[in-house]
Amino acid sequence: MNKTRIVNFFKKYGHIWTLSYAFLYLPWFAYLERTVTRRYHVMHSQLDDLIPFNEYFIIPYLLWFIYVAGALAYFFFTSKENYYQLCTYLFAGMTISLLICTIFPNGTDLRPVIDPDKNLCSYLVSLIYRADTCTNVFPSIHVYNSICVHVALTKSRALQDRRLVRIGSAVLMVAICMATVSLKQHSVIDVAGGILAAIVIYRSPIPAATPGRSRPARWPCARHGPDFGFSDIRIPPDESSLSSGGIFYISCIVCISCIVCHQ
């Protein structure tokens, strides 16, 4: 019975294969964290010195993990099409970020000395500082992924009437972006890089590379259609054709319209 349930699950949710991207991203990121330790370009601007440290921003900073994972889980179970679109948007930018950090090693010098006994938030910040190095920060993945998720949620047809969800998503997205600089995890340069990457990747046509027959996805405005963003992604009709696409599909087939879809 359990075996049958497992088989049925993978038949119904065969798009779970996309999560294998973690086997590319995590080892690559871990390698950069281990090797980029001394000789790197410091991302620092005068504006960074004007932004005060605030440990309470650790709350939206940590909510980022739930925000991204929650959006992926929602689309995973409710809309395979939107799920593929969000994964493509996320994974393409994350891959480009790794390439930038590999070619252009970078980091910050912004972190203050933290007293972990001051309060719970300070303690959590100290844990983040210990677990995460101050390198490989440009562009900010926290910022980039937050924008991706917000665009996905606001452009989803299923959520068009959920005004509170869209407003809450916008507030959380902005709070996460503010948290990256208020916790001194990132420079404003990194934040600008994350925003620019989101816009450029959203607008840049990259040829689709889908195996087998395909059907066009639907798009986000009067010009492109109803859903949230990619102008030429092709979704394979069955999961058996996905294996030959592999990670290349997720990392490379970004063909995107404009971020402000009503323009």
Mean pLDDT score, 53-69: 98
The secondary structure of 208-253 as a DSSP string is: ----SS-EE---SSTTT-SSSSBSS-EE-SSGGGGTTTHHHHHHH-
Is 240 inside any structural domain?
Answer: no
Is 140 inside any structural domain?
Answer: yes
> Do 188 and 49 contact (CB within 8 A), yes or no?
no
> Do 85 and 229 contact (CB within 8 A), yes or no?
yes
Is 186 inside any structural domain?
Answer: yes
Strand pairing partners for 235?
A: 215
> Domain limits at 150?
52-208
> Do 80 and 235 contact (CB within 8 A), yes or no?
yes
pLDDT for 12 equals 86
As to burial, measured by CB atoms within 10 angstroms (0-12 exposed, 13-18 middle, 19+ buried), residue 193 is buried
> Do 95 and 103 contact (CB within 8 A), yes or no?
no
CA end-to-end span of the chain: 52
Mean pLDDT score, 200-212: 57
Digit-coded pLDDT (tens) for 80-111:
999 999 999 999 999 999 999 999 999 999 99
Q: Give the chain's domain count.
A: 1
- Range name among 30-44, 101-115, 132-146, 230-244 with the lowest pLDDT average: 230-244
Is 174 inside any structural domain?
Answer: yes
pLDDT for 145 equals 98
pLDDT value at 114 more than 90: yes
Closest CA to 203 of 172, 188, 182, 224: 224
pLDDT band at 1 (very low <50, low <70, confident <90, very high): low
Percent with pLDDT over 90 in the chain: 68
pLDDT for 221 equals 38
Is 213 inside any structural domain?
Answer: no
As to burial, measured by CB atoms within 10 angstroms (0-12 exposed, 13-18 middle, 19+ buried), residue 102 is middle
Rounded to whole angstroms, what are the CA distances from 43 to 79, 97, 108, 115, 146? 39, 15, 5, 24, 21
Digit-coded pLDDT (tens) for 14-49:
899 999 999 999 999 999 999 998 899 999 999 999
pLDDT for 242 equals 39
Query: Which residues, 6 or more positions from 48, have their beta carbon under 8 angstroms from its beta carbon?
Result: 110, 181, 184, 187, 188
Is 89 inside any structural domain?
Answer: yes
Closest CA to 81 of 142, 156, 147: 156
Is 229 inside any structural domain?
Answer: no
| pLDDT: which is higher, 214 or 178 | 178
pLDDT value at 248 more than 90: no
